[in-house]
């Protein structure tokens, strides 16, 4: 079946992490489909520039909310500022990771990672999904990862946050589908974004954010889990053949190979 995305999930899309990478790719794709947008990220100047570009190019309304999702008050403010809008699509793309031994990490940053990758996702999804349930339609795009299906030495906290999101999305898909809401977990492999630089990774082959956005929007009406791009599918299939303990060790070796610095 062919879906018109704006008719099925519009008229407004709320995108977190919209200033860069996958979030930005979703903003550009959804503007091309005619969605009005609410763009959320920390860097207001970057968001304002993107809003101006997308509005001029596609003739859509774009609202900007500068917010740090590690702040527990941020999601409440986002929900308040979007209360009057018909948000039919939530793309929760904000997130970050780290690489290296857990005990060598800054604990405040690790806890902030849990806040951004998990707590803010739950809070924002709860608020927006409640509105969608009243309207009896909507779509929610959450971001797991290839590393979210097992523990990963060298990226223990990040992998755990993505495991949380994967399980959260799977449960919500069953709960919310009868209410007219599609829930999609996006589980990509390596993607070429600013995420890797922040985490301290050096990646080889990677998919583009645009590939992730296109594949995700195609899969959204059916919900469930999507592994966007050939690389994610190949890695997913090869890892699925291993026992869980084997996946843990293999991905630990991969993380070690991507480290760009040694921490002591």
Assign 262 a pLDDT band (cuts: 50, 70, 90).
Answer: very low
Strands 36-41 and 181-186: unpaired
Q: pTM for this one?
A: 0.88
Read off the pLDDT of residues 125-146 as tens digits, 9 standing for 90 and up: 999 999 999 999 999 999 999 8
Selected residue with higher pLDDT from 140 and 245: 140
% of residues, the chain, pLDDT over 90? 73
- For residue 195, is pLDDT > 60? no
Report the catalytic residues.
Answer: 158, 162
Instruction: Give pLDDT, residue 246.
Output: 76
CA distances from 121 to 16, 41, 65, 192 (A): 10, 14, 16, 23
Instruction: Give pLDDT, residue 122.
Output: 98
Instruction: Give pLDDT, residue 41.
Output: 97
Average pLDDT, the chain: 89
Instruction: Please compute, for residue 11, the number of CA atoms within 13 A of its CA located in the half-sphere on the CB side.
Output: 7
- For residue 239, is pLDDT > 90? no
Read off the pLDDT of residues 22-52 as tens digits, 9 standing for 90 and up: 999 999 999 999 999 999 999 999 999 999 9
Instruction: Give pLDDT, residue 170.
Output: 98
- For residue 3, is pLDDT > 70? no
Assign 235 a pLDDT band (cuts: 50, 70, 90).
Answer: confident
What is the average per-residue pLDDT within 234-247? 76
Domains along the chain with CATH numbers: 5-258 (3.40.50.720)
- For residue 54, is pLDDT > 70? yes
Q: Is the dihedral of CA 165, 171, 173, 175 positive or negative?
A: negative
What is the average per-residue pLDDT within 202-228? 86
Selected residue with higher pLDDT from 201 and 121: 121
Strands 36-41 and 12-16: parallel
- For residue 206, is pLDDT > 90? no
Instruction: Give pLDDT, residue 194.
Output: 54
Task: With beta carbons less than 8 A apart as the criterion, state whether 96 and 195 touch.
Answer: yes
What is the average per-residue pLDDT within 169-174? 98
Instruction: Give pLDDT, residue 192.
Output: 61
CA dist., res. 218 & res. 148, Å (int):
22
What is the average per-residue pLDDT within 246-263? 69
Instruction: Give pLDDT, residue 2.
Output: 45
- For residue 186, is pLDDT > 70? yes
Instruction: Give pLDDT, residue 205.
Output: 61
């Amino acid at each position: 079946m062919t879906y018109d995305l704006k008719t099925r999930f519009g008229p407004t899309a709320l995108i977190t992490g919209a200033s860069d990478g996958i979030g930005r790719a979703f903003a550009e794709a959804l503007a091309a489909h005619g969605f009005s947008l609410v763009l959320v990220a920390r860097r207001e100047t970057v968001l304002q520039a993107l809003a101006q570009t997308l509005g001029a190019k596609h003739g859509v309304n774009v609202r900007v909310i500068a917010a740090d999702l590690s702040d527990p008050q941020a999601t409440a403010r986002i929900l308040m500022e979007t209360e009057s809008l018909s948000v039919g699509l939530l793309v929760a793309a904000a997130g970050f990771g780290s690489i290296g031994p857990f005990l060598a990490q800054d604990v405040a940053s690790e806890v902030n990672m849990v806040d951004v990758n998990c707590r803010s996702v739950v809070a924002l999804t709860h608020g927006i999904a409640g509105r969608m349930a009243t309207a009896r339609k909507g779509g929610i795009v959450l971001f797991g990862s290839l590393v979210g299906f097992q523990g990963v030495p060298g990226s223990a906290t990040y992998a755990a946050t993505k495991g949380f999101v994967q399980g959260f999305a799977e449960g919500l898909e069953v709960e919310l589908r009868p209410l007219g809401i599609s829930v999609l977990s996006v589980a990509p492999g390596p993607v070429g974004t600013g995420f890797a630089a922040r985490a301290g990774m050096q990646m080889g082959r990677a998919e583009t954010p645009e590939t992730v956005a296109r594949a995700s929007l195609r899969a959204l009406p059916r919900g469930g889990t999507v592994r966007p791009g050939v690389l994610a599918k190949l890695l997913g299939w090869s890892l699925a053949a291993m026992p869980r303990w084997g996946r843990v060790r293999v991905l630990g070796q991969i993380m070690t190979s991507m480290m760009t610095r040694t921490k002591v």
